[in-house]
Chain A
């Protein structure tokens, strides 16, 4: 079980989305057309770390003379830099097999910032806002899991810097070195352990994500499943009991890291194996039924390893 978790975590960290970035047509200010920018975007990373500097360097000379913050758009939807790249891809990449061609086509903008949809601060060369966003997400997930932010607060400055660098550069080895210090403290009482929450974010569209306040165990002590988390987070859409929730979820696509997720899997196991570096398990919900194309696209985007690293491995 432990070995599985490590293996899956590593595979998930190695996942990349091939992307091609073009400059928005109406923002081109030179006669000569800049070449497209091809990048392998880490699924666990954030757009500012993975692409913003490259976009400044590559398109800067062709952009408006007084550029604002850089922002990205895919299929007409402004992308939020606060959401990990893999989640954005699972949410916004076209779902039909015909349109779903890799590389993922992104458009970079230097002006007309969509302030209603995207937070400011992530499109500058300076990455302070991105680092702050990551640390705050990590503290939130730690608070949910451990009942306080103490494991994060007691990280040394060096450990914090290593952690930030691991996210920035997508280095799994650095992340693992710090991750062990972020587990719930030994001193945590059983009472507190029972009350500890799962750190899950559910994404459905370009709007706000849902973050349910649920414990990993039911009151009677048995493990809560992914289906139960979905039914508690969206009571109007999924039935009240787990069987109903499963039936309902079968008519949709429930993705974790681009792979259709097993609904009966215990949520704490999924969190341990598949949580993002911010400590949250990001689940993407689509209204339509799972198709072979979606599953294949997800696996292709995962890039790494073979069929042996499926999320189902440890359930």
Chain B
């Protein structure tokens, strides 16, 4: 499951984004994000990258399986669910793995 590489290195987590359905793709898919923030910050960051309006919905899933609560710590989510040191996130504009 989460063997091999460390999920959090020097206070950062590597996340990889992948679009699903009608959501637009990102030009760059991997980012280093501060580990000590709440997971909600990931969605805020992604919104900025995609330039989506606040009224538009955006869903972010971990390992194409579940959506963490925005008030969880990114470091904990990464340590629990990373694969080879990367937290794999899928995003879409309609609920996908509801």
A-side interface residues, number (CB < 8 Å): 25
A212 beta carbon closer than 8 Å to chain B: yes
B67 beta carbon closer than 8 Å to chain A: yes
Known: A82-B71, A132-B98. A149 touches B65 (CB 8 A): yes
The smallest C-beta distance from B2 to any residue of chain A, in angstroms, reads 6
- Encoded as 1 (CB less than 8 Å from any A CB) or 0, chain B from 59 to 98 comes to 0000101111111110011011100000000000000011
Determine the residue in chain A with the shortest Cβ distance to B39: A208
Secondary structure of the B side of the interface? loop
Counting contact residues on chain B (CB < 8 A from A), the size range is 20 to 34
Query: Which one of A100-108, A140-148, A265-273, A306-314 is at the B interface?
Result: A140-148
- Encoded as 1 (CB less than 8 Å from any B CB) or 0, chain A from 119 to 163 comes to 100000000000011011101100110011100000000000000
A210 beta carbon closer than 8 Å to chain B: yes
A119 x B1 contact (CB < 8 A): no
Cα of A52 to Cα of B70 in the assembled complex, Å: 21
B47 beta carbon closer than 8 Å to chain A: no
A147 x B67 contact (CB < 8 A): no
Determine the residue in chain A with the shortest Cβ distance to B72: A208
Known: A82-B71, A213-B2. A143 touches B81 (CB 8 A): yes
Give chain A residues whose Cβ lies under 8 Å from the Cβ of B7.
213
Known: A80-B71, A210-B73. A148 touches B65 (CB 8 A): yes
B79 x A212 contact (CB < 8 A): yes
A197 beta carbon closer than 8 Å to chain B: yes
A143 x B63 contact (CB < 8 A): yes
Known: A80-B71, A197-B80. A143 touches B66 (CB 8 A): yes
The smallest C-beta distance from A181 to any residue of chain B, in angstroms, reads 17
Known: A136-B66, A149-B65. A208 touches B71 (CB 8 A): yes
The smallest C-beta distance from B5 to any residue of chain A, in angstroms, reads 13
Identify which of A143, A196, A208 contacts B38 (C-beta below 8 A). A208
Cα of A310 to Cα of B2 in the assembled complex, Å: 35
Give chain A residues whose Cβ lies under 8 Å from the Cβ of B67.
132, 136
B3 x A119 contact (CB < 8 A): no
Cα of A135 to Cα of B72 in the assembled complex, Å: 15
A195 beta carbon closer than 8 Å to chain B: yes
Cα of A119 to Cα of B67 in the assembled complex, Å: 14
A119 x B70 contact (CB < 8 A): yes
Give chain B residues whose Cβ lies under 8 Å from the Cβ of A196.
1
The smallest C-beta distance from B46 to any residue of chain A, in angstroms, reads 17
Known: A210-B76, A213-B80. A143 touches B65 (CB 8 A): yes
A139 x B66 contact (CB < 8 A): yes
The smallest C-beta distance from A119 to any residue of chain B, in angstroms, reads 6
A residues 65-84 touching B (CB-CB < 8 Å): 80, 82
Cα of A149 to Cα of B61 in the assembled complex, Å: 12
Pairs A–B under 8 Å by Cβ, sample size 9: A132-B98, A140-B81, A143-B81, A148-B65, A149-B65, A149-B97, A196-B1, A197-B1, A213-B76
Q: Which residues of chain A have a CB within 8 Å of any CB of chain B?
A: 80, 82, 119, 132-133, 135-137, 139-140, 143-144, 147-149, 192, 195-197, 208-213
Known: A119-B69, A136-B68, A197-B1. 10 other contacts (CB 8 A): A82-B71, A119-B71, A132-B98, A137-B69, A143-B63, A143-B81, A144-B80, A149-B65, A192-B1, A213-B79
